[in-house]
Structure 1
Amino acid sequence: MAREALAQARADAAKRGSVPGQGRRKGPRAPRVPQPGRGGDPKPFGSAIRELMSARGWEQRAAVGGVFGNWPGIVGPELAEHTRPEKFEDGELTVAADSTTWATQLRLLSSTLVKRLNEELGHNTVRRVKVVGPAGPRRTGAWRVR
């Protein structure tokens, strides 16, 4: 019974043009059509990531994330020690300062900071820098004016 099944399988294969155990049949191959996003040569990682970010519209978010990560490189180490970016929404960067003195200093530098950030991120990405001072209550001393 097994021999009959094997003989039948060989006969069916011969009709199709392939005989078991003899490998693939020689002849012209159909050209291989690459599927989008598959196959081909490997791409450099940076190029592949840029294409992905562009396709998904993530360039601006990634650039803003780079500002948050490189804050000392953008504003300088002394200012970065006393300030930190908190959020970016609708062209407005909110920056927190650890004292009212540093908040005032950052407010005076805000137009320069907007120019510097737009150089980094692209034209008109940042329209305004909002500076917030320390969140804690003010310390009251013995000397104050009423």
Structure 2
Amino acid sequence: MGDEKDAVPETIATYLRLRGLEPSAHRRRRRRRRSGDDDENQPFSLGRDPKGVGDVLTTLTHEAGWDSQLARADLVREWDEVAGDETARHTRPVALSDGMLTVQCDSTAWAKQLQLMRAHILTEILRRYPDAGVDSIRFIGPDVPSWKWGPRAVPGRGPRDTYG
């Protein structure tokens, strides 16, 4: 039988393969590959259960590596729940870099009081947002007016006898 296939000219053999009358070896390989993939396309196989949108988004954010950025955004957005309503009215997070959360307060009195409560607030942040990467908190007072503004600002200590 092998001699008969060799006896058929190559052009006729190609014609027969293209017409589907004689399957080629390449086509057999393709069919074998598909038979292994058919298991995942079966309706009741593992992994075919429908998933909710929340589950899909959680998987997507985890695979993309967005967990820490989203945890930081949630921390800022829900600051009033973390710090408490009264404290949140007088404070706001302004920066988060190298694990240091900087919180600006309305007054230096609030900054000092919150420095005493630092451990409690940090524990609450770590409990709610472990992926945010917050290691420590720094409380600062309000912005003070600056004398260094305008096109002719000169580096140095600035005016000294302004209020006296």
Shared fold per TM-score greater than 0.5: yes
Q: For residues 16-55 of structure 1, what are the structure 2 equivalents within 5 Å?
A: 16=20, 31=35, 42-55=50-63
Deviation at 1:41, TM superposition (A): 5.8
Long gaps (5+) in structure 1: 1-11, 18-29, 35-39, 139-145
> Quick one: distance in 1 between partners of 2:73 and 2:54?
17
Q: Which residue of 2 aligns with 1:62?
A: 70
Corresponding position: 1:73 with 2:81: yes
Q: Which residue of 1 aligns with 2:101?
A: 93
Counterpart AA for 1:49: L
Q: Which residue of 2 aligns with 1:119?
A: 127
> Quick one: distance in 1 between partners of 2:69 and 2:97?
10
> Quick one: distance in 1 between partners of 2:71 and 2:130?
9
Listed one character per residue, the Cα deviations across residues 106-136 of structure 1 (whole Å, up to 9, x for unaligned) are 1111111111111112289322101111113
Long gaps (5+) in structure 2: 1-15, 22-33, 41-47, 147-163
> Quick one: distance in 2 between partners of 1:111 and 1:124?
17
Corresponding position: 1:109 with 2:112: no
Listed one character per residue, the Cα deviations across residues 40-82 of structure 1 (whole Å, up to 9, x for unaligned) are 6653111111111111222122112111111111111100001
> Quick one: distance in 2 between partners of 1:63 and 1:136?
31
Q: Which residue of 2 aligns with 1:128?
A: 136
> Quick one: distance in 2 between partners of 1:41 and 1:51?
15
* Identity fraction in percent: 30
When normalised by structure 2's length, the TM-score is: 0.57
What secondary structure, in the 3-state scheme, does the structure 2 residue paired with 1:73 have?
helix
> Quick one: distance in 2 between partners of 1:83 and 1:44?
37
When normalised by structure 1's length, the TM-score is: 0.64
> Quick one: distance in 2 between partners of 1:44 and 1:123?
23
Counterpart AA for 1:100: T
Root mean square deviation of aligned Cα: 3.3
